[in-house]
Amino acid sequence: MNRNIYRRIETCFPLLNLALAHQIQELFDIQFADDTEATLLDEHGQNQAIETQQKNVSQQQILHYLKGNMRQ
């Protein structure tokens, strides 16, 4: 999969609602823990597979998290 690392837009903004900031941090933690098909980008721009000793974590967890925590 090609990655858009040259034509992307990054932004930052304050999270003034503390509860929302905690919820977003939880989402980041789930995203960063996903090692199901994780790779590292090496100095030559090639993706290298990551071997981990821990149990695989899938981003499907984020869907279950969102389903249980969405405001109606």
User: Is residue 30 within 8 Å of residue 39, measured between CB atoms?
Assistant: no
pLDDT of residue 12: 94
pLDDT of residue 55: 64
In a domain, 5, yes or no: no
Distance CA 12, CA 65 (A): 24
In a domain, 27, yes or no: yes
Element (DSSP H or E) covering residue 22? helix 18-33
Distance CA 35, CA 56 (A): 6
In a domain, 58, yes or no: yes
In a domain, 62, yes or no: yes
pLDDT of residue 54: 64
Domain count, the chain: 1
pLDDT of residue 8: 82
Residue-range definition of the domain harbouring residue 48: 18-69
In a domain, 10, yes or no: no
pLDDT 10s per residue in the chain (72 long)? 577 777 888 899 999 999 999 988 988 887 777 777 778 888 998 988 887 766 666 677 767 777 877 664
pLDDT of residue 70: 66
